[in-house]
Structures are given as structure tokens and as C-alpha cells.
């Protein structure tokens, strides 16, 4: 057990699983770096260094740098998963899903079903999402609702280093296709993380704060902000239960519904664009299943319906933060 | 510090504790308090517990308010003789507050209590060493499903006067999860190998529950290595074992499922805080942890009864022995002391359950210290 | 090339089975009994069989929406295939896939694909598995002249080349991508040159000539198996039916299909050649014809009677576990 960053926790998960199972491979653009070049090998270890050190340990046969051809290498990861390997492919930015959506939507998600159960798809696609890095519209989106919508996919959105390691190991051991969404602003977050391998189950939400007045459901990086808001609210006498679903698909509906039955008030914090995001899905779930328990309308804290802007002043106004969450909770307390 | 004025500060319960919240006071300003009596209830993320007064005298100041959260080491109260003037008490408080630096700001504090890993026969074992004294060290051995943090209220206290090791048994904590056949002989030999690896010639063994049976097994097979034996609610003294607890503990994977079983460990279930459950769940998620528990339970609690009865072998034990048991133990009945020879010191602690060393830490620590000095 | 009598009989049987399967589906589909879309392979048999005769159990193929031929050539169960087209519970995919997604992973058939260009990336994955797991396997993808212009196919060729994968890319050029002529849609007009641009060794063959296809396919498959990397086979032929059943085919020149059926039928050409060489006798081939008609006849009859899936089957196989 030691304090490790989100980045290190993910690296460790990959390393431990690659040691345990020779069928696990890592593939993607610059996951090592320097392929075919005269200078340093393992030059990048991933664009933000998450996969650094894997190629020196496991070699270029199990850590594959690919050409910039998402449809080919994500599709190859799908085919490899169906034929005996357990690939962890990297879609460098979730925004790039446009050029390989078919491979995920129509192939990975559906082969098992269309083939009557006679295919397995032990595939993990790791991908970076989220705003805050001033990377602008095409490198800052939170597109996990699109994957959540697709039957056949599992969608995991870890909120902290401890969560990331356990959920990624679980994803690698899963025989279904998992989209593992890493918020790029979380990579430097630190937390106590066990040295050994461990798994966190899918479909089990985590309660990060206990409380009786408001249920706050938060996704990914928003869990941290929801915790901060909850601590500020507790000082004002409003106690909040903060729920981190961990996995958008499968979704732990029971924990959310039980909590809303206790508190009667719901705030959902979701960084994804507001039309058809996870917050709308969760509010619909609550409204259809436990409407009678609600003492106030549900509140959604989400960005505006715009692309992610470049200028820091604008991006900071775009991303939801603790202040907006606190205000939303107080508003429904009245 | 002026003569006769004692600062009561927020204690450090366990490696992870950085602060505590005052829940309730059990004495008012002006009351006489005795050392060892309940003074204030403190809540931490891991556990809520009663903190006993470290000194006797008059409670001159209650510095911390109910609901206040303070860092470890911060001033809670002042206990002093009646005669000492108010002005001196005020000066004491002012000086303390001015000079106080919270533990997190002091780097050396953080380094001092770091557990270590050691490789023994292809297995990794974690242990924590505290204290600097010369003389025979103390080795603390936790019970089924626990780890070295079980001793969070004991190890720092005993380390004032002794060198104290606490260890994670195989299958537990951060030690390797391979447990062979999972039986007492295996566990005892793992502790024996640890003594060898740490070059401990002989030790005072303190074992809780399954760790108690382990310590006794070790003392029976290697008496030359054991200076004394303190067994706290030990296994191995009768057939009864609360299998509902054992099975429930092994099976539960979520807080709601786990809580009722963990509460059975204590006379006062309100002590069980969320972080305690978090830590147990995190442990059980580790690769091999649940399998290890299952293997050990199958070996040691075969068919719902304790597989080994060590009480008959006490006659051959050449080592000083004391047994401490919480009267309200719901896991292994305290009545198991009835099979023990009269010569053995037995202490029944009222108002405590199976985790008597956590619920009544001060009393248990004193019993241990007195015994070690003999 | 050297093929034994048994192999020649097998080749004929595979091709005849495909032809009969497709001709029969053509008739049955017109009655309205078969749901959805079907895309018939009749006329193209020599390609599927010529290639797949060189593949074994450890080799994978991926197909197109026009997948019945590849499925049969890769030893999938004909009766189960027919039930699948009829949407029956005991179909090859449990009735969950239908004609466009017909597959059998246990036979190395990674499926017909409803997405043009869906196969090539998948097969790169199968080739990657073969390479890393050292199975000695080869992966073959079939795609049409339409799929040859899809980005996924081009990226897959580059990927296979850069990673030196044991893959064979087979362009089944039947002259039309839906209703659009391949002569127009293939920019540059020269598939071999295009493949060479990605570093793939390539050959062109007459797709009505089983022996030509089989020979070249064997060379390229062995080339891949020996670790030399991917290659490309351009198979040129005619499809007898439309893009899909229901296609009026008015984009075709009048008499085009009739001419092909009479002069370039791969089954007739095969029969003529083996009988002229004296290797097989007409009665042996006739016997196969009779058996195949009976096989397909009973497959259709069985499929029509076979039970439909339960409503509960709707929910199964979305995940391995959820």
C-alpha cells in the first residue's frame, strides 16, 4: 500500500495483469513510442505517460504501437479479442471515436449477440475524456453516454486512483467489451492504493459521503467536486449522500433509488453535454421508479449545450464545479 | 510542562488517523476524574471510541467543543490538581496551542510508523515495528479476517516501554495470500519463521482469537522462543464458534451486508464506522484474500466447530500465560475460560465483546504491561 | 496443381452446395417466407471454395453481407444455416443474426458482416492473435469491389502491412458495388497497384476458374503462413443475382447474366475440365448433384418446421455476464 497517482494505478493494473496472463496485450498510438525511429524506444509511454515502462518489460510483441488508423487497430482489437487474445486497446482521445465507431458499435458490441452467444469479446478500450486541459472542442468531450446507450458494451468511469486500479483489473478479466473512460484531469490525483492486484465489481456504486438531506450522484471527476460540495454543505447543516456509480453500464440502480427514497432529493452531476447525458438517464430512472419519494424536483448540474471552448476563462465557466453543485443542492432544499 | 498539569490530547488510533471529532464529554469542568475512566467520546472515519483519561485530578478545562474536529495531538482538555491557580491553567493552554504543530506537518512523524515487507520462504509478510526499548520484544498476532491494524490502540501504548511488532498473518492484510492447508500448524510456523527472519530470539506473544490459538500452538512447539503468552479471546479452547459470523463475514461484499456481522464483534455496535467496513471490503477484494479465508475457515472451523482443542495441552506449557476475554463475546464464548487450569491468570472484562482489545484498550494494555513486567 | 480425386470431389461438392443453397433461397425468398435481406453468391462459388480449400481449423475468415458461400466453404452446417435464414431458434446464430450476420466462430468463420468493410479490421485481429499466440494460423478477409473503397479496408491493408500480419485480402470483384460499376468506383482502376501501394504482394485471377483461384490462394496463404506478411488476391467474376433479392438489376446490360451462366459457369467449367482430364466421371458428379439437391431440400423443409425462438431469447447473449 502506498500513495499512488491515478496514472500509476492504471499502469500498475496493466502491468500486473500482463504478468498474470500472457494473452493480455496493449495496443494503440504511441503506447510505447519510437517505433521504427532511431531515437529512444518507449519514448512516450502513451501521450500522457500512462503506459510508460510496459514495453521495456513485455516487449513490442505485447505492447504494440499502431499506425494512426483507429478503424484498423480498434477493429483488429475486436478481432483479436474474438480469437484468443485479451487486448487492451487505447483510443487516445474519446473524441476520436468518430473514426472507429463502427468497430465498437456494430462489431464489438454485437458479435456475441448476433452469433447467438458463440463469440466472446474480452476487449478493453481505454480512452481519455474530459475538459480542463485547454485542449478545446475536439479533445475535451465526455462521450460516455454514447457508449452507455449501446447494448453489449460495458462502460466504466473511475473517480480516483484506488477505483481505477481495481476497476481496470476487473475490466481486463471481463469477457465482454469494456470502454474504460479516464478523465485526463485525474491523472495526477493521489490516493492510497494497495500494491497487490484486486478487483472492484461492476454494477456496484460507491458511497463516498453519507447523509440524509440530499442524494448527489456524480460521474468520474465530478465525484471529487461533489465530495467537496458535500463537505461544505455539511458545515452548513445539510448532509449529502454522494454516490459514485463507477459503471454507467451496468448501472447500480438499486443504490441510487434506495438513497433517493431516504433523502427525497436528487442532484446529478455529469460533465457530459446536457442533451441525453447520464444525468438525464438517472433522473428518468428516479422519476419513473420512485417519484413518490421526491420532495423536490431533481436537479442536474451539467455544462451548457456548447462545444468545449478553448480560452481558459470560457472552459472554466463550462466545467461544473463544487460551487454549482452546492448551489443546486441548496436550491432544492428550499 | 508545569508540575501537576496534564494535557489531554487527541490520541492517534491507527496509522491512518489524522483527526478526530468530539462526540460527547463524560465529565464536566470541575469534576474529579480518575486515570482510566471514560472522559470523552471521539469519532474517526474508522471507529468511534471512548477515550479514557490518562491522568487523575480535576478536569480544569474542556477545551474542545462537542462537534469539533481536531488533528491528532491537539489539546482536548486539561486535568490538574485543584490547588493550581486558574491563571496557570490559562497560561498552560495558551502555550500549548501556540506551540502545537499538527502531525501532518511533521515529516518525521509520518516516517516513524511505516510497515515493512519481508520475504520469507517465497512469501511476503508485512509487519510494523514500534518502540525502541531494549529487552524482549512483544509480537502481536491478530485474528481471523483482521490485520496488524487491529492493534491500533495497543501497539503505540506498549511501544512506550517495549519493542513491539505487529504482523499480518499469511492470507491477511498485505501479506501473501497463499495459506497452504490453512491450519494452525501452518499459521504458527509462519510466525515462527518471522521470528527467525527478524532475528527475534524470544518474544512475548500476544494473540487475539485465531491469532491466540496460533500463538499458543507456537509456544507449545517452540517454548524456547516464547517468553510469555497473552491470549485475548483465543480460539482453541472449546468447540463453539459463531459460524454465522464467520460465513457472513466471508460472504459479504457490500457495506450493508457486512455491517451486521462486523457489529457482532463489539459489545457496542455503534463503534463500527464506515471506514472500518471500507478497509475490510478493500482487503477482501485483494486477489486470493477470500480464498485464503475460506481455506483457513475450512481447516480451523471444520463443520461449524473449532477443529483444535488446545486447552488439554496447557499442562505441558512451560511459559507464563494469561487469558483476557470480553464478557460479551458473541464470536467465541467467554465460558471457554472454564476449561483452563486454575494456575492460569484469567481476566474477564465486562462491557466488552470479541474485540476487547479495541473496546477496552486501556484496561487490556495495562493487563499486558503488568504481565510483561513479571 | 496437384489435387487428389477426393479433393476434387470435395471442391465440386462445396461449390454445388453453395449453388443449390443460393438458387433455392432465390425461390423461397420470393414466396415471402424468409425475413429481411438476402444477398446471393450464385456464380461466385469458385472464389469461396478455391480459397477455403487451402484453410484449416486454425485459420479464420471474415466475409461480407454476401456470406452464404464463405460460410459453406468454411464447413458450417448447412441445415443450421438454413434455419438461421428462417430466423429459427436452432439456427446457426440462434436466430439472432440472420443472413447478414451468419457466423460460426468454432469453424473459424468470423461472420458475414452487415457493414461494408467490417471484415478486414477483424481479420487483422485474427492474424494478430495467430502471430502472438503462435498458432501458425492465417486470416483471410473477403470484401467486394465496394468494400475495396471503404476506409476500413484500406486502413486494414496498411495495418497488416506495417505489422507484417499473416493475412490475405481477397477482393471479390463482381463488377458492381450495389448498382455502381466497379470500373468507375475504383479510383486508379488497378486493384493490384493499389494493394502494392500498401506493400502487399498481389495477383489477379479469373474467378470462374476454380483451379486458378485455388492455385493462387494456396501460394498466398503459404506465403502468409511462412511469416512473409499480408498479400492480395483480385478475383474477377460475375454475380448471377442482384445486389439483394428484390434488386431489379436494370443497371446491368441486357443478356449479361445469361451469357455468364452459359459461358462462364464455374461449375460447368470445373466439370468440363475434370472430365476432359479423365480424373472424374460425369456420374460421380451427377451423384453429388443429386445428394446436394436432397440436402438443400431437406434443409428447407426442416427450417420451415423448426421452432421459433422464445421471447426470452431476446434478452440472452447481450453480455457474457452483467
What is the CATH classification number for the domain harbouring C176? 3.40.50.970
Task: Give me the number of domains chain B comprises.
Answer: 2
Contacts of B112 (CB under 8 A, 6+ apart): none
CATH of the domain at B84: 2.40.50.100
Say how many CB pairs under 8 Å bridge A and C.
Answer: 161
Question: What are the start-end ranges of the E strands in chain A?
Answer: 2-5, 24-28, 63-65, 86-93, 124-129, 154-156, 178-183, 190-193, 206-209, 214-218, 240-244, 247-249, 266-269, 299-301
Last residue of a domain, one of B81, B107, B133: B107
Q: What are the angstrom distances between the C-alpha of C222 and each of B252, C74, C216, C319? A: 56, 18, 10, 37
Q: Tell me the residues of chain A between 225 and 254 that have a Cβ less than 8 Å away from chain C.
A: 250
Q: Please give the Cα distance from B291 to B295 (Å, whole number).
A: 6
pLDDT tens-place string over residues A219-252 = 999 999 999 999 999 999 999 999 999 999 999 9
Q: Which residues of A touch B19 (CB under 8 A)?
A: none
A64 touching chain C per CB within 8 A: yes
Q: Please give the Cα distance from B37 to B21 (Å, whole number).
A: 19
Q: Which chains touch B (3 or more CB pairs under 8 A)?
A: A
Residues B99 and B227 in one domain: no
Q: Which chains touch A (3 or more CB pairs under 8 A)?
A: B, C
* The pLDDT value given to residue B108: 46
A234 touching chain B per CB within 8 A: no
Last residue of a domain, one of B107, B137, B157: B107
Contacts of A91 (CB under 8 A, 6+ apart): A28, A70, A74, A97, A100, A125, A126, A127
Phi-psi region of C68 (alpha: psi -120 to 50; beta: other; left: phi over 0): alpha
Q: Among A162, A194, A204, whose Cβ lies nearest the Cβ of B174? A: A194
Say how many CB pairs under 8 Å bridge A and B.
Answer: 26
pLDDT tens-place string over residues B328-348 = 999 999 999 998 988 899 999
Long-range CB contact pairs, C262-266, < 8 A, 24+: C264/C208, C264/C237, C264/C238, C265/C43, C265/C208, C266/C15, C266/C43, C266/C44, C266/C45, C266/C46, C266/C207, C266/C208, C266/C209, C266/C210, C266/C237
The crossing angle, in degrees rounded to 10, of helices B289-300 and B210-221 is 60
Helix (H) / strand (E) element for B325: namely strand B321-326
Contact A115, A73 (CB under 8 A): no
C138: in domain:
yes
Q: Among A192, A195, A198, whose Cβ lies nearest the Cβ of B285? A: A198
Burial class of residue B374 in the structure, from the number of CB atoms within 10 Å of its CB (0-12 exposed, 13-18 middle, 19+ buried): exposed
What's the mean per-residue pLDDT of chain A? Answer: 97
State the Cα angle at A299 between A293 and A300, rounded to 5°. 135
C321 touching chain A per CB within 8 A: yes
Catalytic annotation on A139? yes
* The pLDDT value given to residue C1: 66
ipTM of this complex: 0.94
Residues B195 and B266 in one domain: yes
**pLDDT band for position B45 (50/70/90)?**
confident
User: What range does the domain containing B342 cover?
Assistant: 115-373
* The pLDDT value given to residue B18: 83
The crossing angle, in degrees rounded to 10, of helices C266-276 and C210-225 is 90
CATH of the domain at B161: 3.40.50.1820
**pLDDT band for position B105 (50/70/90)?**
low
What's the mean per-residue pLDDT of chain B? Answer: 92
Helix (H) / strand (E) element for B52: namely strand B48-52
- Say whether pLDDT at B2 is over 70: no
How, if at all, do strands A206-209 and B138-141 pair?
Answer: unpaired
Contact C116, C185 (CB under 8 A): no
Which residue carries 524456547 as its cell?
B224
Task: Give me the number of domains chain C comprises.
Answer: 1
Q: What is the pLDDT along chain C (322 residues), one digit of tens a residue?
A: 689 999 999 999 999 999 999 999 999 999 999 999 999 999 999 999 999 999 999 999 999 999 999 999 999 999 999 999 999 999 999 999 999 999 999 999 999 999 999 999 999 999 999 999 999 999 999 999 999 999 999 999 999 999 999 999 999 999 999 999 999 999 999 999 999 999 999 999 999 999 999 999 999 999 999 999 999 999 999 999 999 999 999 999 999 999 999 999 999 999 999 999 999 999 999 999 999 999 999 999 999 999 999 999 999 999 999 9
pLDDT tens-place string over residues B126-162 = 999 999 888 999 999 999 999 999 999 999 999 999 9
Collapsing DSSP to helix, strand or coil, B268 comes out as: coil
Which of B14, B275, B282 is most worth mutating to test chain A (most A CB atoms within 10 A of its CB)?
Answer: B282
Q: Among A119, A152, A175, whose Cβ lies nearest the Cβ of C318? A: A152
Q: Please give the Cα distance from C235 to C208 (Å, whole number).
A: 9
Last residue of a domain, one of B107, B134, B168: B107
A58 touching chain C per CB within 8 A: no
Phi-psi region of B199 (alpha: psi -120 to 50; beta: other; left: phi over 0): left
* Structural domains for chain A: 2-193 (3.40.50.970), 206-333 (3.40.50.920)
Q: Please name the residue ranges forming H helices in C198-281.
A: 210-225, 256-263, 266-276
Burial class of residue B28 in the structure, from the number of CB atoms within 10 Å of its CB (0-12 exposed, 13-18 middle, 19+ buried): exposed
Contact C10, C67 (CB under 8 A): no
**pLDDT band for position B1 (50/70/90)?**
very low
Residue A240, C-alpha cell as written in the block: 449529502
Q: Do the chains contact at A198 and B174, CB–CB below 8 Å?
A: no
Q: Which chains touch C (3 or more CB pairs under 8 A)?
A: A
C300 touching chain A per CB within 8 A: no
A15 touching chain B per CB within 8 A: no
* The pLDDT value given to residue A110: 98
Residues (pLDDT < 50) of chain A are: none
C201: in domain:
yes
- Say whether pLDDT at B52 is over 90: no
Q: Which residues of C touch A62 (CB under 8 A)?
A: 132
C320: in domain:
no
Neighbours of A68 (CB within 10 A): 12
Residues B194 and B287 in one domain: yes
Q: Please give the Cα distance from B67 to B16 (Å, whole number).
A: 21
C283: in domain:
yes
Which of A167, A191, A193, A198 is most worth mutating to test chain B (most B CB atoms within 10 A of its CB)?
Answer: A198
- Say whether pLDDT at B107 is over 80: no
End-to-end CA distance of chain A: 44
Torsion of CA B246, B252, B256, B261, to 10 degrees: 0
Residues B120 and B183 in one domain: yes
Q: Please give the Cα distance from B342 to B68 (Å, whole number).
A: 48
Q: Do the chains contact at A162 and B282, CB–CB below 8 Å?
A: yes
C25: in domain:
yes
Q: What values do phi and psi take at C271, rounded to 5?
A: -60, -45
| CB-based touch C/B (3+ pairs, under 8 A) | no
C321: in domain:
no
B253 touching chain A per CB within 8 A: yes
C60: in domain:
yes
Amino acid at each position: 500500500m502506498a500513495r499512488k497517482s491515478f496514472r500509476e494505478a492504471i499502469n500498475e493494473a496493466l502491468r500486473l495483469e500482463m504478468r498474470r496472463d500472457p494473452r493480455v496485450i496493449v495496443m494503440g498510438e504511441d503506447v510505447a513510442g519510437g517505433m521504427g525511429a532511431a531515437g529512444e524506444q518507449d519514448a512516450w509511454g502513451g501521450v500522457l505517460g500512462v503506459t510508460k515502462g510496459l514495453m521495456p518489460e513485455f516487449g513490442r510483441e505485447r505492447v504494440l504501437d499502431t499506425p494512426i488508423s483507429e478503424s484498423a487497430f480498434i477493429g483488429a482489437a475486436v478481432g483479436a479479442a474474438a480469437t484468443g487474445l485479451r487486448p487492451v486497446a487505447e483510443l487516445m482521445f474519446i473524441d476520436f471515436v468518430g473514426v472507429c465507431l463502427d468497430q465498437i458499435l456494430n462489431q464489438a458490441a454485437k458479435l456475441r449477440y448476433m452469433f447467438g452467444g458463440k463469440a466472446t469479446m474480452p476487449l478493453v478500450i481505454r480512452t481519455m475524456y474530459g475538459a480542463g486541459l485547454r485542449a478545446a472542442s475536439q479533445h475535451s468531450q465526455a462521450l460516455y453516454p454514447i457508449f452507455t446507450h449501446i447494448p453489449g458494451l460495458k462502460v466504466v468511469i473511475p473517480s480516483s486512483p484506488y477505483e481505477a486500479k481495481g476497476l481496470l483489473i476487473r475490466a481486463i478479466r471481463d469477457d465482454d467489451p469494456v470502454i474504460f473512460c479516464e478523465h485526463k484531469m485525474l491523472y495526477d490525483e493521489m490516493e492510497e492504493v494497495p500494491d497487490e492486484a484486486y478487483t472492484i465489481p461492476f454494477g456496484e456504486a460507491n458511497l463516498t459521503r453519507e447523509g440524509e438531506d440530499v442524494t448527489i450522484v456524480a460521474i468520474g471527476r465530478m465525484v471529487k467536486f461533489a465530495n467537496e460540495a458535500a463537505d461544505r454543505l455539511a458545515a452548513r447543516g445539510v448532509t449529502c449522500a454522494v454516490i459514485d456509480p463507477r459503471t454507467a453500464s451496468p448501472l447500480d440502480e438499486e443504490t441510487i433509488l434506495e438513497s433517493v427514497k431516504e433523502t427525497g432529493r436528487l442532484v446529478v452531476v455529469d460533465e457530459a453535454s446536457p442533451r441525453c447525458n447520464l444525468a438525464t438517464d438517472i433522473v428518468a430512472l428516479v422519476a419513473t421508479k420512485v417519484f413518490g419519494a421526491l420532495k423536490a424536483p431533481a436537479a442536474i448540474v451539467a455544462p451548457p449545450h456548447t462545444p468545449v471552448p478553448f480560452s481558459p476563462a470560457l472552459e472554466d465557466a463550462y466545467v461544473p464545479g463544487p460551487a454549482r453543485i452546492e448551489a443546486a443542492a441548496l436550491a432544492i432544499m428550499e | 510542562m508545569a508540575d501537576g498539569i496534564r494535557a489531554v490530547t487527541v490520541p492517534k488510533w491507527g496509522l491512518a488517523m489524522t483527526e478526530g471529532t468530539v462526540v460527547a464529554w463524560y465529565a464536566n469542568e470541575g469534576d474529579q476524574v480518575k486515570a482510566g475512566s471514560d472522559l470523552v467520546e471521539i469519532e474517526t472515519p474508522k471507529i468511534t471510541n471512548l477515550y479514557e483519561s490518562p491522568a487523575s485530578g480535576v478536569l480544569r478545562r474542556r477545551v474542545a467543543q462537542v462537534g469539533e474536529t481536531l488533528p491528532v495531538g491537539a489539546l482536548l482538555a486539561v486535568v490538574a490538581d485543584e490547588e493550581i491557580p486558574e491563571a496557570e491553567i490559562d497560561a498552560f493552554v495558551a502555550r500549548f496551542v501556540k506551540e502545537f504543530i499538527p502531525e501532518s506537518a511533521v515529516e518525521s512523524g509520518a516516517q516513524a510508523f511505516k510497515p515493512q515487507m519481508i520475504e520469507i520462504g517465497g512469501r511476503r509478510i508485512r509487519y510494523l515495528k514500534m518502540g525502541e526499548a531494549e529487552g524482549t520484544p512483544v509480537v502481536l498476532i491478530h485474528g481471523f479476517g483482521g490485520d496488524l491494524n487491529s492493534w491500533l490502540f495497543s501497539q503505540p501504548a506498549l511501544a512506550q516501554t517495549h519493542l513491539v511488532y505487529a504482523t499480518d498473518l499469511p492470507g491477511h492484510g498485505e501479506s501473501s495470500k497463499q495459506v497452504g492447508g490453512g491450519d494452525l500448524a501452518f499459521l504458527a510456523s509462519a510466525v515462527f519463521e518471522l521470528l527467525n527472519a527478524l532475528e527475534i530470539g524470544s518474544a512475548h506473544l500476544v494473540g487475539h482469537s485465531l491469532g491466540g490459538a496460533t500463538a499458543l500452538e507456537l509456544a507449545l512447539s517452540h517454548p524456547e522462543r516464547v517468553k510469555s503468552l497473552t491470549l485475548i479471546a483465543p480460539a482453541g479452547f472449546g468447540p463453539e464458534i459463531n459460524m454465522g459470523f464467520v460465513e457472513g463475514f466471508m460472504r459479504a461484499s457490500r457495506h450493508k451486508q457486512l455491517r451486521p456481522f462486523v457489529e457482532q464483534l463489539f459489545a457496542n455496535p455503534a463503534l463500527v464506522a464506515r471506514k472500518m467496513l471500507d478497509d475490510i471490503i478493500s482487503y477482501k477484494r485483494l486477489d486470493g484474500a477470500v480464498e485464503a479465508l475460506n481455506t483457513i475457515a475450512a481447516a480451523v472451523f471444520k463443520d461449524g466447530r473449532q477443529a483444535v482443542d488446545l486447552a488439554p495441552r496447557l499442562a505441558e506449557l512451560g511459559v507464563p500465560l494469561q487469558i483476557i476475554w470480553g464478557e460479551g463475546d458473541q464470536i467465541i464464548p467467554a465460558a471457554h475460560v472454564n476449561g483452563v487450569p486454575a494456575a492460569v491468570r484469567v481476566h474477564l472484562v465486562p462491557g466488552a465483546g470479541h474485540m476487547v482489545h479495541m473496546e477496552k484498550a486501556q484496561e487490556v494494555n495495562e493487563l499486558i504491561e503488568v504481565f510483561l513486567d513479571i | 496443381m496437384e489435387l487428389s480425386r477426393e479433393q476434387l470431389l470435395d471442391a465440386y461438392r462445396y461449390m454445388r452446395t453453395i449453388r443449390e443453397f443460393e438458387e433455392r433461397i432465390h425461390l423461397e425468398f420470393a414466396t415471402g417466407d424468409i425475413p429481411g435481406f438476402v444477398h446471393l453468391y450464385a456464380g461466385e462459388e469458385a472464389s469461396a471454395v478455391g480459397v477455403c480449400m487451402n484453410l484449416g481449423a486454425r485459420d479464420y475468415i471474415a466475409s461480407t453481407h454476401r456470406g452464404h458461400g464463405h460460410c459453406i466453404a468454411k464447413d458450417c452446417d448447412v441445415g443450421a444455416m438454413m434455419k438461421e435464414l428462417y430466423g429459427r431458434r436452432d439456427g446457426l446464430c440462434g436466430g439472432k443474426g440472420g443472413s447478414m450476420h451468419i457466423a460460426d466462430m468454432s469453424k473459424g468463420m468470423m461472420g458475414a458482416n452487415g457493414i461494408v468493410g467490417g471484415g478486414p479490421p477483424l481479420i487483422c485481429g485474427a492474424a494478430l492473435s495467430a502471430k502472438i499466440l503462435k498458432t501458425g494460423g492465417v486470416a483471410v478477409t473477403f470484401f467486394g469491389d465496394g468494400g475495396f473503397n471503404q476506409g476500413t479496408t484500406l486502413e486494414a491493408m496498411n495495418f497488416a502491412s506495417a505489422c507484417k500480419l499473416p493475412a490475405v485480402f481477397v477482393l471479390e470483384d463482381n463488377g458492381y458495388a450495389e448498382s455502381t460499376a466497379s470500373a468507375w468506383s475504383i479510383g486508379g482502376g488497378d486493384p493490384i497497384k493499389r494493394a502494392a501501394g500498401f506493400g502487399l504482394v498481389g495477383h489477379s485471377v479469373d474467378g470462374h476458374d476454380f483451379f486458378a483461384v485455388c492455385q493462387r490462394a494456396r501460394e498466398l496463404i503459404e506465403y502468409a503462413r511462412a511469416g512473409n506478411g499480408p498479400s492480395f488476391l483480385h478475383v474477377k467474376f460475375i454475380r448471377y443475382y442482384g445486389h439483394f433479392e428484390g434488386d431489379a438489376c436494370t443497371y446491368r446490360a441486357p443478356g449479361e447474366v445469361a451469357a455468364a451462366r452459359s459461358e462462364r459457369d464455374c461449375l460447368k467449367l470445373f466439370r468440363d475440365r475434370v472430365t476432359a482430364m479423365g480424373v472424374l466421371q460425369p456420374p460421380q458428379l451427377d451423384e453429388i448433384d443429386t445428394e446436394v439437391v436432397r440436402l438443400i431440400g431437406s434443409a428447407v423443409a426442416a427450417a420451415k418446421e423448426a421452432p421459433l425462438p422464445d421471447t426470452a431469447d431476446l434478452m440472452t447473449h447481450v453480455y457474457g455476464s452483467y
